[in-house]
A and B are shown apart, each in its own frame.
Chain A
Amino acid sequence: MTALLSASGITLRHGQNMVLENVSIALTAGEIVTIVGPNGSGKSSLLRVLIGALSPQAGTVTCKAGLQIGYVPQKLHIDPTMPMTVRRFLDLPKQVDMDVAMQALRTAGVPETANRQMSQLSGGQFQRVLLARALLGKPDVLMLDEATQGLDQPGSARFYRQIEDVRRDLGCAILMVSHELHVVMSASDRVICLNGHVCCEGTPDVVSAAPAYRELFGSGTGGALALYRHEHDHYHHHHHDHEDAP
């Protein structure tokens, strides 16, 4: 299958600092790819290169003609001097019909927020509104940069379930950056371990067994990861039961 979006040989420097060195990545429709890596490993920078916010010193980004990108930034600070309702926010940059906007809010799980001010939302609601906005353009690629930052564990677990639903419903490729290794590992088709360069990549199992990955996240991570995954599954079901109970 041809790639929706690919980057090859990306090299990015900030002044003297080498941020990304010869990084290549390709996304095909319907797959969930997660980038993991320590702080300062260039994860966010790579996403910003892919959306065109940063121009790399070397390398090329190629995308399918007319590619729609839905982007959920790591943190969106709305200056308190700017009044902004959720509904108006969804209209940026292109106006959308009321039912389309409401549908996106329902998909993201926050239909009740339409008339609220963005500044009055909780952290979880805010991230979901960002997700709703990213979904509006019927994206071919959805990019999430630490989208669950500031959410508690049940909150982020719910958020990732929603992401899987989105992939199922829209069939879009999803590219995530996350520090929550356990959640990410269980939800991804492919994991890319980044530390300025691509250390290793493959299915979650392959990556978590890779020496380069263990070196980055400590030798104990392999075991802890398995435990986390178990815990996550358990928690997941438990929570579901709870939620579905009358």
Chain B
Amino acid sequence: MLDDFMIRAGLAALGVAMAAGVLGSFVVWRRMAYFGDATAHAAVLGVAMALMFGWSIFAGVGLVALTMAVLIYGLTGRGQAVDTILGVLSHGALATGLVAVTLIPGQRVDLDAYLFGDVLTVTRMDVAIIWGGAVLVMGVLWSHWAALLTATLNPDLASASGINPRREHLILTLLLATVVAVAIKVVGALLITALLIIPAAAARGFARTPEQMAGLAAVLGGISAVGGLRVAVVLDTPVGPTIVCVAAALFAIGTVVTKLRSVGV
């Protein structure tokens, strides 16, 4: 079954999108979109390092995303406005990555594949790593759910209940780096944040509890992944951006439906 490249692509996209949907709910609630961007943009630098040193792409991207995420985590702990710092780190890492890729001796690198993803070329091994990462992310979210949610709601409430909010924040940060690492081959560095945020935002209007929102975000992410792949094949468009287009369309439909419902149509 995994011999078919379409099946492999579908599975890879599905795994990433579902994990991103659930984690993305936290990104939305905590307003970490920019944080996600910075971590994802750093991935390009990870690609450059992986190619330069002959590592696996996942390892290079994972390492750099992790470093970036922990760096930002350290900076955000001091209660300062951090969007400027995030902007510097985000674009600094992206630009450095773009330059570094061109400096790699010998081969010409297809940058598009890393900026926008190239899911049609994923191998069995890639699919296994992607699902491993996705299952890890969802498993950690599952086991830490109540603590993560309480810490997201209010750090002091968490402290009073014996939960360390900084620790929960660090866990989310590490999960974000994991998602970035497994998503790079599917949607690419520039569109990872979209996969985190759009399904969660689309789910918001239909959810009454955080669990409903996260669950629906996973479903919408999955629909976007499979639907986007299908549309991309039919229209012969790049898969990553098409997946994001489908997600954005779902968001638009969801927003219209929510508005109509609220005015009682």
Contacts and interface: CB of A to CB of B under 8 A. Distances in A.
A65 interface: no
Contact of B159 (A52, A77, A82): A52
A51 interface: yes
B249 interface: no
A52 B162 CA distance: 8
B210 A78 contact: no
A71 B157 contact: yes
B152 A82 contact: yes
Interface in A70-99: 70-71, 73, 76-79, 81-85, 88-89, 91-95
A174 to B, nearest CB: 14
A182 interface: no
A69 B163 CA distance: 12
B159 A84 contact: no
Interface stretch (B35-43, B54-62, B130-138, B201-209): B201-209
B243 interface: no
Nearest to A83: B207
Nearest to A54: B159
Interface stretch (B7-15, B44-52, B143-151, B220-228): B143-151
Given A81-B29, A82-B152, A76 B157 contact: yes
B155 interface: yes
Interface residues of A, number: 27
A143 interface: yes
B159 A83 contact: no
A55 B155 CA distance: 14
A interface: dominant SS: loop
Given A79-B31, A83-B204, A48 B159 contact: yes
Given A92-B150, A93-B147, A85 B29 contact: no
B157 A83 contact: no
B16 interface: no
Contacts of B31: 79
A227 B211 CA distance: 51
B208 A53 contact: no
Interface in B184-221: 201, 204, 207-213
The 3 closest A-B pairs by CB, nearest first: A71-B160, A53-B159, A51-B160
Interface of A: 48, 51-53, 69-71, 73, 76-79, 81-85, 88-89, 91-95, 117, 137, 143
Interface of B: 28-31, 146-147, 149-150, 152-163, 165, 201, 204, 207-213
Given A69-B160, A81-B28, A82-B210, 19 more contacts: A48-B156, A52-B160, A52-B162, A53-B160, A71-B157, A76-B157, A77-B154, A78-B153, A79-B31, A81-B29, A81-B204, A83-B209, A83-B210, A84-B210, A92-B146, A92-B157, A93-B158, A94-B146, A143-B160
